[in-house]
Structure 1
Amino acid sequence: MEWLVAPFEVAFVQRALWGGMLVSLICALAGTWVVVRGMAFLGDAMSHGMLPGVALASLAGGNLLVGAALSAGVMALGVSALGRSRRFSQDTAIGLLFVGMLALGVIIVSHSRSFAVDLTGFLFGDVLAVREQDLGQLAGALTGAAVVSLLGHRAFVALSFDPRTAGTLGLRPRAAHAALLGLLTLAIVASFHVVGTLLVFGLLVAPPAAAMFWMTRIPLIMLGAAVVGCLATASGLLISWHWGTAAGATIAAVAVALFFVSALTARARQRTWRATTDEEIAHTS
């Protein structure tokens, strides 16, 4: 059992484990709505649309979190504004902003020869470099995400299944949608500097999608997503330690692998249940 415990006796791996678990909890709260509402493309666009703000903050010597938050805020406002148009779908608005923001970020990056390492960190993060102050920021973000999820739960549910009913019930669907975008922005901005945008997107989508094969109620899906995300974090760090692979990418790969395991297991269970049911019907008749 030493191979299982030894990596987590190292201080920086312990911080990476706690950081990844906090990110998993934040992403479980926001990612469940991303999957339920079919907002995966928006989540991807938001995570990469932060690049201009991060690039400008880095070149100016400012706070990367502030730059990321401003850039993500512009994305969220742009999606909300363009999404109201009846001439094209929201996906079109998201795609336009995604390409535009990403292109702007690359243009800014191209003016700095020293930005290559920072861009790598932006995309892939460095979960093994998590500091204690990062854990404090993630804990604060988790608290904020939990408050938004709790206060907006009823409106988010109504918005996900019937926006017209949400308006009839006085739940203000536009305000609920804006709050949901704020929750998604909080999850991405709080987590990207620790684990990178690719890992954030992986934890936003894969764990909730895996949990949905087994659960139907939103709170249970969130709980299942949190468990899958934490399992992916611990397993990814363990594999990374023994195989010498990139920690962040390994965690993301394990999260996706757990989704496919969940899908295959659920399908096998369904086939077994059908076979058992058919056999009982045959014996009865």
Structure 2
Amino acid sequence: MEWLIAPFEVSFVQRALWGGVLVSMICALAGTWVVVRGMAFLGEAMAHGMLPGVAVASLSGWNLMLGGAVSAVVMAAGVTVLGRSRRFAQDTAIGLLFVGMLALGVIIVSYSRSFAVDLTSILFGDVLAVRGPDLVQLAVALGVAAVVCAAGHRAFVALSFDPRTATALGLRPRVAHGALLLLLSLAIVSSLHVVGTLLVVGLLVAPPAAAMFWADRIPMIMLIAALLGSLATATGLLISWHAGTAAGATIAITSVALFAASASLSRARGRVARTTTRRTLERTS
């Protein structure tokens, strides 16, 4: 069992594990609504949309999470404003902002002499470089995300299934949509150090999507998603340690593998249930 325990006896791996668990919890809260509302493309666009802010912060020596937060808010505001236009669908606005913000971020980063290193760190993260202050920031972000989810739960549910009902109940769907975008931005910015902007969608979408095979109530989906994300983090770090692969990417692909396993097990469970039901009917007929 030494191969299983030894990696987590190292201090920086322990911090990486705690960082990944905290990010998994945040992504479970935001990602559940992303999956329920079919906002995966928006999540990916938001992840790329914070690249300019992160790039400016990196070149200026500012806090990367603060720079990413500013950029993500700008992206969210742009999606909200352009999405109100009746001339084109919302995904057109998302696609345009996605490409524009990504290109702007790459242009800004290209001014750095360490272009390749900076861009790699921003895009793919560095979970093994998580420090104590980063864990404190993640814990605070988790608390904020939990408060937003608890306060907006009723409005989020109504918005997800029937916006007209949300309006009739006085739940202000536009405000709820804005709160969801801010929640999504918080999850993406918090994940920056762990898996970076390109791989964050793996933790944001895969665990909640996998959880939906095993639960149909929002709180339970969030709980299972947090557990699956934490499992993906621990397993990814373990595989990365022994195989020498990139830790962030390994965590992301592990979360996708857990989704595939959940889908397969759910399908197999469905076949067994149908077979059992058919045999029971045959015996009673």
Normalised TM-score (structure 1): 0.98
> Which 4+ stretches in 1 moved above 6 angstroms?
none
Q: 1:81-115: CA deviations, max 9, x gaps?
A: 11111121111110010011111112222233322
Go from structure 1 to structure 2 and tell me whether the alpha carbon gap of 1:198 and 1:103 turns closer, same or farther (over 3 Å shift): closer
1:59 and 1:131 mapped to 2: Cα distance?
A: 20
The percent of aligned pairs where both chains have the same amino acid is: 77
Q: Does 1:151 align with 2:138?
A: no
Is the 2:194–2:248 Cα contact (8 Å) retained in structure 1? no
| Match of residue 124 from structure 1 | 124
Counterparts of residues 27-42 of structure 1 (less than 5 Å):
27-42=27-42
CA displacement at 1:132 relative to structure 2? 0.5
1:251 and 1:61 mapped to 2: Cα distance?
A: 28
State the AA in 2 paired with 1:11: S
SS in 2 for 1:113: coil
Q: Which runs of 5+ in 2 are unaligned?
A: none
SS in 1 for 2:84: coil
| Match of residue 257 from structure 2 | 257
| Match of residue 270 from structure 2 | 270
| Match of residue 196 from structure 1 | 196
Is the 1:46–1:98 Cα contact (8 Å) retained in structure 2? yes
Q: 1:57-85: CA deviations, max 9, x gaps?
A: 22233222222111111100000011111
1:2 and 1:111 mapped to 2: Cα distance?
A: 46
1:169 and 1:229 mapped to 2: Cα distance?
A: 34
CA displacement at 1:18 relative to structure 2? 0.3
Normalised TM-score (structure 2): 0.98
2:126 and 2:62 mapped to 1: Cα distance?
A: 20
Q: Does 1:229 align with 2:235?
A: no
| Match of residue 69 from structure 1 | 69
CA displacement at 1:52 relative to structure 2? 1.1
2:252 and 2:140 mapped to 1: Cα distance?
A: 23
Q: 1:141-193: CA deviations, max 9, x gaps?
A: 00000000000000000000000000000000000000000100111112213
1:99 and 1:83 mapped to 2: Cα distance?
A: 16
State the AA in 2 paired with 1:23: V
| Match of residue 47 from structure 2 | 47
CA displacement at 1:200 relative to structure 2? 2.0
Aligned length: 285
| Match of residue 141 from structure 2 | 141
1:185 and 1:257 mapped to 2: Cα distance?
A: 25
1:271 and 1:33 mapped to 2: Cα distance?
A: 29
Is the 1:134–1:194 Cα contact (8 Å) retained in structure 2? no
